[in-house]
Structure 1
Amino acid sequence: MMGLLLGGVLTAMASDVAAGEQPQDTFQTTPTQFRTTYESLRLPQGEKMGLLGGTFLFDTYDWLAVGGGAYGALAGQRGGFITIGAAAELHKRFGEHAEINTGLFVGAGGGRGGYTLQGGGLMLRYHAGAQWHVDGMGALGGGVSWVDFPDGAIHSFQPYISYSFPFQALILPGWVSLDKDETETSRNMPMVEQEFAVVYRRYTIPAGVRTDTGQQQHNSIGLVGVEWDRYLNRNLYMRVESEGAMQGQSNGYMQILLGAGYRQALTDGSWLKLSVAAGPAGGGGVATGGGLLVDAQLAFQQKLSDHLFAQAGLGYALSPGASFRALSYSAGLGYHFFSPKMGAGIVERDSLSGFEARHFRIRLVNQRYLKDAPNWRSHHANLNVDLLGFQMDYFLNDYVYLTGHGIGAYRGMGGGYMTGLVGAGLHLPVPGTPLFAEVDALVGAAGGGGLDVGGGAVWQGDAGIGWQLSPAYSLLASYGVMRSVRGNFRARVASLSLGYSFSLPFR
């Protein structure tokens, strides 16, 4: 099964090279699905942990899909147990409704149990199942899964249930350009409204809240993260958000929430937004019980330009059945855009005239932290830490990009460590060769796994050399340093990543 990811990449690279020889007049939409799963894992001493999963899968062929996802504890006693990683799946449709599938998730992370439970943090999840597609409503399914932490204590076989929401994505391979002049077809094309924001959130915690060990919880936690809103109509939207602690005494705390909201216009360019979200959260000693966090927010949003906006919010978060609850204050800066709403099939280049092709790159990243201080970890200080995750780059032009990554430990007895960083970089092609050089700098939150990151605030700088394998695919090797702002964590960072460059039409 682990060959699925490599096989899919290699065959896609071959077709990408052929397609890159001349500009495309047409583009094929990509069948995509967002799948949620729920299962109950058996842990040592008869303990059970309810695990919620969310995965984006993109069809590379009609029988193979690849993507990425995350899993988090939602019931039991392991709030804060979260992993992220890559996924691959084989599937076969029978008629209009029935489907069978089998796949693999390779992830990193853990939490709330230390290295004795999840070892280095490597998670392997194998599944075999089926689902039934209902027109216009998605697909309901189920099956069996095997979840294994090879150097930890989790080895569990269980049934699961699933819900999949299928849609078509228009992903243009490589970096393409589109005509700026609108045509009648592009002018009348249906569009989807979306927003993406970088957010700082501060939890103010009342005196009665206790940690998961019964101690008094520190009175505040500062978090940094991202939000993505996708509008269903002019007012209703779906939301996905992820944040991690960078201030206070709860490094390692993380939350991944899924929810919905309503937007009400106040004036031309200002709105009120009310949202409710829920999902897995915990770590850093925060008492979230089994892991479920419920969050309600009221935010004011102000348009700054055609695309940029600022927002400020007030909210309340709590873990049902557990001690944690807090008032939240947030501020964010975001980007507002429209993308084409596509059905399955071929899209003519002319129908996208008037849209701007924005250039992105997503990277599957493997990193190694090399010890650079004697007390950088609270245990296993002589072991390096290996990490796996994803990095997304948005190119402002051919040379400057904004970037962000989320990665977790999978080897080195650092299970439970995760980090999320944002920053900027410089991309410098070497003329006449497929080589390029890059430097970047990032800041953000990290914690868990016994790495001494203080309150959770960290920064990282890297420089590297890359090879453009094809118009879409690239390899990048880099080396840098990572430091915590207030803790003893110091590491040299060696990275190797496989990148996929693509364009998305925005307006």
Structure 2
Amino acid sequence: MLLPDLPPPEAPTPTPVVLSLTLENALVEDGAHMGLLGLSYRRRFTPEWSGGVAVYSATTGTHGGFFGFGLQGAWHAPLERWLGPEWHGEAGAFAGGGGGNPGWVAGGLMLRSHAEVSRDVKPFRLGLGISRVVFKDGRARSTHPYLSVQWDTASFIGPAFSDTVVPAVAGMRALPQELAAIGGVYQPRKSPRRDGTGGTPALQFGGLAWRQGLATSPWLGAQPYASLMTLGAMGGGYDGYAELSGGLGLRWQMGPQWQLRAEGLIGSAGAGATVDTGGGLLAKTGAAAVWTPSPGWSMGAYAGLLKTRGLFSARELRLELGWQGIDWQPVPGDRLAMTDTASPSRAPQTAVAAAWSPWAVSTSWKHYSGTVREVGPPQHVPVLGLKLERALTPNWRVLAEAGTAVGGMAGGYATGQLGAGWMQARQPGAWRWGAEASLGAAGGGNVDVNGGLFAQAQLQLRREFAPGWSWQLDAGQLRTVRGGLKSQMVGVSLVSEFGRLQAP
């Protein structure tokens, strides 16, 4: 008996995502202007509504070191009826924390609203709009035009905990991906302070780097990739220094376990009067030797140079410990290729399956009591937090978290940390408890962090109220490793658990 031919398997339905880059010139304290670069990642929940996260940083003016991040939502509408099918309208709002100089951002609560008209210029949308930036209890209120570049892409997002294996079919492509914990030093060429005083002790930093292979042909015998990096000071007397940069790199495979890399990045950085970066714009280049001791893991040593438009320029040395994987993305085409990140020089091989890897993203409001100040008495500080978690087992997970002050006259205070946690296995509708510990860098906002290196431990209660969505209660303590700051914390979080389609 002949069986009927089965239809070919179909790719999972992609989730639309909007990436946006904005450029604007905001009026801040005393009539000064600050160039702002904005970057947002928003998921489209409906054709009209999208929501996600956004970060803003100073690039021109005299406020280098300003950063603001938080949540952003937007409403989209086609303007085909009035202007044509290639025209679009958008209105949205951002709420978060920001700072870099507590004198003019006060508590740090940052609000931004916008409206724009954009036109398709494939593969992007170019837009012109008006935005309103307000620091709720500070001295900055500005209404000004801005330019935008948007890119509509997509991602495979599914259930957080599923044993389903997804067959690789047309319309799916796997690209190498790396997430690395970084630590290193900057050695300034001269005093980076705005007044030029002081010596040149090494700036010790820690942070996180993300790299994604590009679906392009090799260039100069190397595989191109995109890179995004964030880091903060953890010692050396540069409390509050923070940096965010992105760029491109090339990777040469030098055998089954060794790679050479070259990177170029641009971004924003600074720490008020402590580290003078001018308006905040930076450029950095470097090269690295990377060893892959086993599939999925890498260790790298980097050397490079950093240059800003202020007094700060430095030589860089850093070490990285990376986790490598395969990320499936919706890419049009009828052929599939998967590059093994451990041995990218090998010929592409046919991809046969992918699986849902459990992730979680959350936003939190945490209250830190009695934070010690460099000047003045201790005060309470509310902090807006964003956290990314990757579950390794049903109980254990690793995490990366960033926080920024939104009150307590601590505008500009920010934290970034890496850690691990344990939590009871998921049970829909039931409370489950857990604990986590993290280590990171903090500074700014007149908060005495004594070098910046801190540790935090907390207990958690989490309960799912809808599929993939949970409330979480947090309680714990933060203290600086070198003494000084010791603060009790309570908070509440909104958690979204989901799956990313990655190599099993």
**Given the two structures, how large is their TM-score scaled by the length of structure 2?**
0.89
> What's the counterpart of residue 41 of structure 1?
26
> What's the counterpart of residue 117 of structure 1?
104
Q: Tell me, which stretches of 5 or more residues in structure 1 are unaligned?
A: 1-24, 345-350
Give the distance between the partners of 1:187 and 1:267, measured in 2 at CA: 31
> What's the counterpart of residue 67 of structure 1?
52
> What's the counterpart of residue 293 of structure 1?
282
Q: SS of the residue aligned with 2:22? A: strand
Deviations 1:378-405 (A, max 9, x none): 2453431001120111111010110110
Q: Does 1:331 align with 2:319?
A: yes
Give the distance between the partners of 2:355 and 2:199, measured in 1 at CA: 48
Q: SS of the residue aligned with 2:239? A: coil
Cα deviation for residue 464 of structure 1 reads 1.8
Contact preservation (8 Å) 2:178, 2:324? yes
> What's the counterpart of residue 229 of structure 1?
211
Give the distance between the partners of 1:501 and 1:432, measured in 2 at CA: 12
Q: Does 1:386 align with 2:372?
A: no
Give the distance between the partners of 2:428 and 2:210, measured in 1 at CA: 39
Contact preservation (8 Å) 2:261, 2:288? yes
Q: Does 1:165 align with 2:148?
A: no
Deviations 1:434-454 (A, max 9, x none): 111010000010000111111
Contact preservation (8 Å) 1:59, 1:65? yes
2:251 alignment partner, one of 241, 247, 263: 263
Give the distance between the partners of 1:468 and 1:58, measured in 2 at CA: 21
Contact preservation (8 Å) 1:196, 1:227? yes
Give the distance between the partners of 2:446 and 2:239, measured in 1 at CA: 10
Q: Does 1:145 align with 2:131?
A: yes
> What's the counterpart of residue 81 of structure 1?
66
Cα deviation for residue 293 of structure 1 reads 1.1
- CA 1:36–1:433: 2 relative to 1, 3 Å: closer
Deviations 1:229-284 (A, max 9, x none): 11213511111110001111001000000111111121123111111111110016
Amino acid at match of 2:125: A
Give the distance between the partners of 1:352 and 1:358, measured in 2 at CA: 17
Give the distance between the partners of 1:267 and 1:101, measured in 2 at CA: 49
Give the distance between the partners of 2:77 and 2:493, measured in 1 at CA: 31
Deviations 1:448-506 (A, max 9, x none): 01111111000000002111112300111011000011241110011210000011121
Deviations 1:130-163 (A, max 9, x none): 2112223x11111000000010000000000011
Cα deviation for residue 431 of structure 1 reads 6.6
Q: Does 1:357 align with 2:356?
A: yes
1:272-291 matched pairs, under 5 angstroms: 272-283=260-271, 285-291=274-280
1:409-420 matched pairs, under 5 angstroms: 409-420=405-416
Contact preservation (8 Å) 1:99, 1:130? yes
Q: Does 1:193 align with 2:189?
A: no
1:220 alignment partner, one of 178, 182, 202: 202
> What's the counterpart of residue 21 of structure 1?
none
> What's the counterpart of residue 90 of structure 1?
75
Cα deviation for residue 205 of structure 1 reads 1.6
Give the distance between the partners of 1:217 and 1:129, measured in 2 at CA: 47
Contact preservation (8 Å) 1:452, 1:487? no
Amino acid at match of 1:288: T
Contact preservation (8 Å) 1:174, 1:471? no
Q: SS of the residue aligned with 1:105? A: strand
Give the distance between the partners of 1:439 and 1:85, measured in 2 at CA: 25
Pairwise CA RMSD of aligned residues?
2.1
Give the distance between the partners of 1:93 and 1:279, measured in 2 at CA: 33
Q: Tell me, which stretches of 5 or more residues in structure 2 are unaligned?
A: 1-9, 333-349
- CA 1:26–1:265: 2 relative to 1, 3 Å: closer
- CA 1:363–1:188: 2 relative to 1, 3 Å: closer
- CA 1:70–1:430: 2 relative to 1, 3 Å: closer
1:9-48 matched pairs, under 5 angstroms: 27-48=12-33
Deviations 1:102-132 (A, max 9, x none): 0011111211x22x30010000000000211
* Structure 1 stretch displaced more, 146-155 or 301-310: 301-310
Give the distance between the partners of 1:472 and 1:329, measured in 2 at CA: 41
Give the distance between the partners of 1:62 and 1:430, measured in 2 at CA: 31
Give the distance between the partners of 1:90 and 1:458, measured in 2 at CA: 39
Contact preservation (8 Å) 1:455, 1:487? no
- Structure with bigger helix share is 1
> What's the counterpart of residue 464 of structure 1?
460
Equivalent residues, number: 467
Q: SS of the residue aligned with 1:267? A: coil
Q: Does 1:309 align with 2:291?
A: no
Q: Percent identity?
A: 27
1:318 alignment partner, one of 307, 310, 325: 307
Give the distance between the partners of 1:504 and 1:432, measured in 2 at CA: 20
Q: SS of the residue aligned with 2:264? A: strand
> What's the counterpart of residue 7 of structure 2?
none
Contact preservation (8 Å) 2:11, 2:170? no
Amino acid at match of 2:422: L
* Structure 1 stretch displaced more, 403-412 or 92-101: 92-101
> What's the counterpart of residue 347 of structure 1?
none
Q: SS of the residue aligned with 1:77? A: coil
Amino acid at match of 2:492: L
Contact preservation (8 Å) 2:160, 2:356? no
- CA 1:168–1:152: 2 relative to 1, 3 Å: same
Give the distance between the partners of 2:484 and 2:47, measured in 1 at CA: 50
* Structure 1 stretch displaced more, 81-90 or 329-338: 329-338
Give the distance between the partners of 2:280 and 2:162, measured in 1 at CA: 43
1:392-471 matched pairs, under 5 angstroms: 392-429=388-425, 434-471=430-467
Q: SS of the residue aligned with 1:200? A: strand
> What's the counterpart of residue 4 of structure 1?
none
> What's the counterpart of residue 340 of structure 1?
328
- CA 1:189–1:290: 2 relative to 1, 3 Å: closer
Cα deviation for residue 209 of structure 1 reads 2.9
Q: SS of the residue aligned with 2:353? A: coil
Amino acid at match of 1:133: D
> What's the counterpart of residue 20 of structure 1?
none
